[in-house]
Amino acid sequence: MAESDSGEKTEEPTAKKLSEARKKGQIARSKDLGTMFVLVGTAVALMLMGDMLVGRMIQMMKRLFSLSRQEVLDVHALYNVVMSSVYQILLPLGWVFAIIMLAAFVGNTLLGGMSFSVQAMAPKASKLSPIAGFKRMFGIQALVELIKSLLKFFVVFFVAYLLLASLFDQILFLSIENIPLNFAHAVDMLLWMFLALSLSLTTIVIIDAPYQKWNHTRQLKMTKQEVKDEMKNTEGSPETKGRIRRAQYDMSKRRMMSEVAASDVVITNPTHFSVALKYDSDDGRAPVLVAKGVDEMAIHIRTIAKENGVEIIASPALARSLYYTTEQDEEIPEELFAAVAQILAFIFQLNEHKKGKAKRPKPVSKNLPIPDDFRY
């Protein structure tokens, strides 16, 4: 039972699996999304540049059908006439193709993004296999494509019927309109009908795009064993990770111990907890906890403090409060400012006394102002 469960692809693909699939060209793509954007882009391009394109083509045809005898007999003159006529339509044609290319780019990269894969372009023998081709023809994906094709047919047919029914009177009226107004009217109707039919594919895209994304994720799903193997290969074995964590802990411990030597005061439990504080009045910040520890680490902090001449103050309640409420390199909580201020004031007066500038200060009160919520 366990073996069968481990073979089921129930896990979502990892970032590494998705990245590898992308390198192979396996990304979510919706052909209908790209087709819809190209068709809509074509309709919009013709509606925007159609008048200019038609006008330039009329000018070109008039010029080419009104050649003089000298231009017909002179090859160079004829070449110049043809090229100047062609140049006239290059600008509107260029804009039409630019809009279509932009629409094609957006439509084909909107789902899945842009991806270029040499592996996807490489020939594969499996694609030439008749058996594999037979499976593709009669597989689930082929059935989905058949349903989509039928759905597209009925949607386009229904929209076309509605358009023809609503424009039927205008279409009949074209026969009694004056030339060339009826031609312009007909082209205008055709463009709007083309745009409407192109937009009708939105119905298919709304269904197809989420399906393609879901199907892509489903195909890349992994078994639990594959996820474990990938994590093992990526991050290493548990023993290696344990050694890395120990090395990181040792580095952090050494850095913290170096901060103790530069601290202003070490507050102790006095046996189980030790916290080292540093205060710089010039930078305007609150006192910062630079090191903390319990049991063996607390003893080590006190030892380093003694070796470097850092004052050690026994205040069990404050030591516990700072240990549980403040992380390393963080400022102490505002609620403990008053209690810590008394400690720092005592240290300042004690340093002045050692310099012979002041009397020896009174010991720190055992009942420091610590809120009940900060007592541990």
pLDDT value, residue 234 = 64
CB 37 within 8 A of CB 107: yes
- What is the average pLDDT across 178-204? 85
pLDDT value, residue 157 = 92
Hey, where are the domains in the chain? 31-110, 255-374
pLDDT tens for 283-297 read 778 898 888 888 888
pLDDT value, residue 100 = 93
Rounded CA separation 374/318 (Å) = 9
Angle formed by the axes of helices 337-354 and 316-325, to 10°? 120
C-alpha dihedral, 189 to 195 to 196 to 199, nearest 10°: 180
Inter-CA distances, 20 with 15, 27, 116, 233, 266, Å:
9, 10, 13, 15, 52
pLDDT value, residue 209 = 86
- 366 pLDDT higher than 50: yes
Q: Dig out the tokens for 131 from the structure.
A: 């058996």
Most confident region among 138-147, 236-245, 305-314 by mean pLDDT: 305-314
pLDDT tens for 200-259 read 989 888 988 888 888 888 888 888 888 777 777 766 556 666 676 677 667 767 777 778
Most confident region among 11-20, 155-164, 361-370 by mean pLDDT: 155-164
CATH 3.40.50.1220 describes domain 255-374: no
pLDDT value, residue 39 = 92
pLDDT value, residue 42 = 92
- Which residues are CB-neighbours of 9 under 8 A, at least 6 positions away? 221, 222, 223
CB 263 within 8 A of CB 311: no
